[in-house]
Amino acid sequence: MTTATTHITVKSTSTPRAVIKAIPAIEQDEGVGARVRRSIGNMSVRNFTPFLMLDHFKVDPSAGFPDHPHRGQETITYVLKGNVDHEDFTGSKGTLGPGDLQFMTAGRGIVHAEMPRIDAEQDGSLSAVEGLQLWVDLPAKLKACEPRYRDLRAKEIPIVTPNDKVTVKVISGQSYGVDSVKDLAYTPVWMLDFTVLPGGSVEQKVPHGFNAFLYSMDGEVVVEGKKFPKFTNIFFDTEGDEIHVSVPESFHSPARFVIVAGEILNQEIVQRGPFVETSFERILKAFMDYRNFTNGFERAKGWASEIGKRMLF
């Protein structure tokens, strides 16, 4: 499937959502030798249903995320630069390249590894991997589902250009009348990647009953008359139909950001590390199941990924 590029102009008559909070994504250690900027899943924003964690990661070839478990959530991994190998105890394995995404449903349990692919560039050097990883809660009725994957390649993602200042990669959801590929995750999530040149503005519709945020990866943006720098996560109220963003003509560089929205789940969130349940009792059971190789973790017994062994050298 080739990438579709669409030019369309839409005039908005909807109500913009107000900003309720904005926090900087502070860099911290994670995994083995990796660095991430976490703006959901920390002390400032513990969770923002259905979202449990957002990491903007940069991983050197000597670092990574070797074998580790998950239960009760979905993860969305978006590779911005470099290549990432993945492997899990179901036998699934593969590589994500620049612009690729993986939607993983952990369900009742999975153990996997995510590691930078060690490929020398033409000059003989090794480059770091950069990307976003978003953790999304699963509805209680789906927490015991079987694990699954859905890879989305860069060439599959529709692109819409509402004007000569704005380009949108429609990863999941809809933007300016263009729909994404369907059936990517169980929990309904919209994920849109914007590049806006100075003098450009965005009026992005978001569904009712969805929480929404904007994470800025590069450049500066203006929302509600206030300027926000890169590496800022802006959280919006549930009232309103759209998110309005601008990059004034006076700014010297383009802005790149994602707008992400997800269906609000009216359920308890009890999280301990990589396990997400609806009660403390179920969390205890998750740890027991992982320790005893039961109820979804049977295949973890004796299993070790090949890519995770890179950390031994």
Domain that holds residue 293: 25-156+274-303
Beta pairing, strands 242-247 & 232-236: unpaired
Domain check: are 122 and 248 in the same one? no
Length of the chain: 313
56 is in an annotated binding site: no
| Total number of domains constituting the chain | 2
3-state class (DSSP) for residue 241: coil
Let me know: does 311 contact 64? Beta carbons within 8 Å: yes
Is residue 192 situated within a structural domain? yes
- Confidence check: pLDDT of 9 > 70: no
- Confidence check: pLDDT of 286 > 70: yes
Domain check: are 186 and 142 in the same one? no
68 is in an annotated binding site: yes
Domain check: are 44 and 31 in the same one? yes
CATH number for 105? 2.60.120.10
Domain check: are 198 and 108 in the same one? no
- Higher-pLDDT residue of 149 and 276 is 276
Residue 70, token pair as written in the block: 């998950």
User: CA–CA distance from 88 to each of 12, 18, 106, 137, 287 (Å)?
Assistant: 45, 41, 11, 20, 19
Is residue 292 situated within a structural domain? yes
- Higher-pLDDT residue of 306 and 256 is 256
Domain check: are 137 and 75 in the same one? yes
Overall average pLDDT of the 31-52 stretch? 89
112 is in an annotated binding site: yes
Q: How far apart (Å, rounded) are the C-alpha atoms in residues 191 and 309?
A: 33
Is residue 73 situated within a structural domain? yes
Domain check: are 138 and 254 in the same one? no
Is residue 5 situated within a structural domain? no
Let me know: does 88 contact 113? Beta carbons within 8 Å: yes
Cα torsion 40, 41, 47, 50 to 10°: value is 70
Let me know: does 208 contact 164? Beta carbons within 8 Å: no
Domain check: are 232 and 248 in the same one? yes
Domain check: are 30 and 140 in the same one? yes
- Split at pLDDT 50, 70, 90, the class of 10 is very low
Q: How far apart (Å, rounded) are the C-alpha atoms in residues 70 and 81?
A: 25
Domain check: are 251 and 279 in the same one? no
30 is in an annotated binding site: no
Is residue 95 situated within a structural domain? yes
